[in-house]
Amino acid sequence: MRPAPTILHLDMDAFYASAEQAAKPSLHGKAVVVGGLGPRGVVATASYEARILGVHSAMPTAQARRLAPNAAYLVPRFQLYRSVSEQVMELLGRLSPLVEPLSLDEAFVDLEAGGAADDSASARRTGERLRTAIRAVTGLTGSVGLAGSKMLAKIASEQAKPDGLVLIEPGTERELLAPMPVRTLPGVGPATADHLRRAGMTTVHDLAEAGEDELVRLVGKAHGHGLYRMALGLDDRPVVAERDAKSVSVEDTFDVDLHDRVRVRAEVERLAVRCVERLRAAHRSGRTVVLKVRRYDFSTLTRSETLRGPTDDPTVVREAAARLLEAVDTTGGVRLLGVGVTGLADFTQEDLFAQAADARELAEREQEPERQAPESGAEAPAAEEEPESAEQLAARRWPAGHDVHHAAHGHGWVQGSGVGRVTVRFEEPGGPVGRVLTFRIDDPELTPADPLPLVRDPVDYSSWPASLPKSRSGPGSAAGEESRP
């Protein structure tokens, strides 16, 4: 534990949904749900307006539609989210060399290591300036927690939501934690919480009073020791700038169970190639190939094969995944498939024949039309053994929420598609609410487009935090929001 609250935790507010609201003026203040839109889709993020109606992350989209039938349901645009995340992480990097990203929208920052803060007052000032900078550069809001440890900083940011700042003064940890439910502590899931509840422990205070020996008896030595320390507010974990990934994987959930064994194998091979593409993008290789199969009855099987050495060869990974599939019974149907690689390394160890086969495969793939793959939360392409319907073709080419450009009307986004038509609202970030027009799905003047920046003329923070920011369009800068108590 540090004597000053110089560990900062940033968590962007309803990130995906907020980005969509900022990009689409007609959705400002409206319920927005981002995720997979098919029968088996899952909510990735819901705006605060949708959360009031009971919608939350990881909820089946079908259930969300029943709770919020009038919400806007959009397919994720990860190109936009990554772009905004890079802007946010760049600002964090200006505060300290020690930034530990946890996801696209969440990170820890060691303010002391960067000289950005050394006491409560300077930490609060830095946190407020960060929130102002994020709003000016991205148009979005983030919540900030400040404390002497990572655990408490994360708890503080949760208390600060939405769009606030909470600072936990060193020395007040136990008093703050005492009345909180045990689920507040990291690593305490539903099963552990239920086990503790049956032992009469429902708050953090109960855990601290029970003592380390009792917690070890209840949940085991390793977990019990850590749980007791957390109950006392003790957490010495440092902010780590480099967090090595332990695995790389991709998976798809299908709208309809797959029964055709040939189709199942084809999907596994396709996922293997996608997995290797991600592996290479990270400049890594891996030694163990893992296959994940979720069957019609929701039972999930995993199979793995360890190779003779690390590889980033799509042929090797694909063939290993196919061999693993041979040992899995898919007779009743498959609803989800996944392929992953673990045992990551920075080098490869493959023979020249595999390398040559890889080169041939890549050359062949370059001659084929690019096949767009769904991101996390979206569904897999429809079955190829039957021709796709017009509805399926439209949904694939014109995903709800994605960007388009019309030769006559300019930039817009897809509101929906069906019956051979696609409906588009023509508006841009920061502009007025746009008009809605409908086109044929094969209209030659309508084409997919890249997302536009959320802030067209952002404030220049290239010299931040050494000096006050200056606007590129003139004097003045964005005003900061007051912190929450």
106 is catalytic: yes
- Tell me the C-alpha to C-alpha distance, in Å, between residue 108 and each of 6, 135, 171, 232: 10, 18, 21, 21
- Tell me the C-alpha to C-alpha distance, in Å, between residue 296 and each of 254, 255, 256: 11, 12, 10
Cα gap 142→127, rounded to integer Å: 10
Query: What phi and psi, each to the nearest 5 degrees, are found at residue 183?
Result: -65, -15
What b/e sequence results for 108-138 when a residue is b if at least 16 CB atoms lie within 10 Å of its CB, and e otherwise?
A: bbbbbbbebbeebebbbebbbbbbbbbbbbb
Cα gap 413→276, rounded to integer Å: 31
Burial of 473 (0-12, 13-18, 19+ CB in 10 A): exposed
Among 172, 195, 169, which Cα is nearest to 182's? 195
Cα gap 196→199, rounded to integer Å: 5
Share of the chain residues as helix, strand and coil, in percent rounded to the nearest 5: 35, 25, 40
Instruction: For residue 80, give both structure tokens.
Output: 């936009």
State the Rg of the chain over Cα. 25
Identity at 329, one-letter amino acid code = D
Q: Which of 106, 112, 269, 427 is catalytic?
A: 106
Catalytic residues: 106
